[in-house]
Amino acid sequence: MIPVHLNAVATAVPPNVLEQSDVERRVRAQFADSAVVTRLLPVFANTGIERRYSCVPVEWYYEEHRWADRNALYRESALELVEEAAREALARAAIAPEAIDAIVSVSTTGLATPSLEASLMERLPFGRRTARLPIVGLGCVGGALGLARAADLVRGGSFANVLLIGVECCTLWFRRNEVTKSNIVATALFGDGAAAAVLSRSGSGARIAAVGEYTFPRSLDIMGWDVADDGLQAIFSRDIPALIARELREILDDFLARNGLTIDEIDAFLSHPGGTKVLDALEGAFALAPGSLVDSRAVLRDYGNMSSVTLLFVLERALREGALARARSGRALLSAMGPGFTAAFLTLER
């Protein structure tokens, strides 16, 4: 089997910082007359988030915006961010754009046609025969499944070097007049960011070994976006932590068994941090001590939930801090869950 080496990961964030305490103060003032919002305000402190990053300054959120205006900002901001992340990932991998055989792009928070990787090809000197694979609609599971699809391209033998790019501009869809639990939770949780990774059939990077996913039956309403006249509305309609606690371990054990592994052979766990309750539930499912998902919790604290790219931020931090190097077996499990409702797993080996 052709090996797949993860030779570089890089991330990027926009310049506008959203301090969580300031966002809470502004939401409190914006919805001062709403008993619903007052009851939900503790969610800002309970997220474990200290700051996030936004494509637009905070003053922008006090104005009305049409779908077309929001999406135009998405296209502009997303391209800037993925270019920054892609340039850095290519530099870290010491590979020229001309050597990339395929580009996989992942994003759910806007519509771009031509897709982002096509626009990126006008900014970096990729070959004109570079294959393109845009993936839309995966939400928070997109980082894991983007890596999986990119790894499949390398493993298939036709592509020696694949670039994965991902970007999410979640904050552009804040709804200033909507008094619902989903809107307030989204306002407390989501941030903007981009990431890129270089996967190759050769190199010194850790090897992506097993990949897999599981889509739960009758679960389409758990998470996603609703389309409204003026933009996208967040959907959180079920108790995700309870679902994780009830069903994830059996699904994970089946994935590991099909790849000749047990959970005892995993020494590092890198998970998409959907929120603190999700991380608590994951630690329970993985039989870890509370607080063990250090990298996931640190990324949530410093960046918030950036949907698909958050797992790549966790991965970058873990590689930088040496989590895989310290792993006794040299093996890590990457995991994420998102709309579908789908769980995705990858194993990474030193």
Hey, which residues are catalytic here?
140
| 344, two tokens | 């995705």
Residues in Cβ contact with 58 at an 8 Å cutoff, skipping those fewer than 6 apart: 16, 18, 22, 26
Strand partners, 179: none
Residue 42: exposed, middle, or buried by beta-carbon count in 10 A (0-12, 13-18, 19+)? exposed
* Phi, psi of 252, deg, nearest 5: -65, -45
Helix then strand count (H, E) for the chain reads 13, 13
Residue 33: exposed, middle, or buried by beta-carbon count in 10 A (0-12, 13-18, 19+)? exposed
* Phi, psi of 242, deg, nearest 5: -65, -40
Phi-psi region of 224 (alpha: psi -120 to 50; beta: other; left: phi over 0): left
DSSP string, 155-196: HTTS-SEEEEEEEEEGGGG--TT---HHHHHHHHHB-EEEEE
Angle at alpha carbon of residue 167, lines to 166 and 169, rounded to 5°: 160
Return the number of other C-beta atoms located less than 10 Å from residue 76's C-beta. Answer: 13
Residue type, 208: I
Separation of alpha carbons 138 and 98, rounded Å: 28
